[in-house]
Amino acid sequence: MIDATALSAKPVLSGVRIRLVPLSPRHAAAFHASAVDPETRRLTGTHREFTPAEIRAWCAGRAEEKDRLDLAIEDRSNGGFLGELALMDIDADNAQGALRIALAPEATGRGIGSEAVRLLLGHAFDRVGLHRVQLEVFAFNVRARRAYERCGFVVEGRHREALAWEGERYDVLVMGALRPG
């Protein structure tokens, strides 16, 4: 049985270099700047460009969501926005959910994503009570795939040519992590 209050409570999760905090309007400007970055859009497969007002509204509504957890990744030393991640698509009957993450351009290649994923997985398994968490990653994003593998994810499947990007088609890998022990 999962504990749904662990999703609605919106915790703060602290790591060595980062802190995961509830996504809120104070993150909107930095979130928008990250979301319009061409490389971030490619790595997340985001075709649509969001306006600052849409991002502000999204951030403002996250606290009201009782069945998912949207967190900003902040630098512990200065509070700077490093990205955002979510635990979502919760299937309580089967104790599973999905994770997604998007790092700000300046946060990539530093282990920030791995630390954030480990923190969120710990919360998902230990506090929420999930048995399985899955994510999707584009086959061309080898750096992210390796980071996910270091966090315990295993490639479970492939959606062939599921992403169309700039005239090319790319596979989407489905990865899953199981509660330890």
Question: What per-residue confidence (pLDDT) applies to 93?
Answer: 95
Structure tokens at 6: 């662990």
Q: Can you give the pLDDT at residue 88?
A: 97
Q: 3-class DSSP state for residue 123?
A: helix
DSSP-derived letter for residue 4 is T
pTM: 0.94
**Confidence (pLDDT) at 61:** 95
The per-residue pLDDT for 146 is 95
- 181 residues of the chain, pLDDT tens digit each: 899 888 988 999 999 999 999 999 999 999 999 999 999 999 999 999 999 999 999 999 999 999 999 999 999 999 999 999 999 999 999 999 999 999 999 999 999 999 999 999 999 999 999 999 999 999 999 999 999 999 999 999 999 999 999 999 999 999 999 999 8
Report strand pairing: 154-165 vs 168-178. antiparallel
Within 10 angstroms of residue 19's Cβ, the number of other Cβ atoms is 19
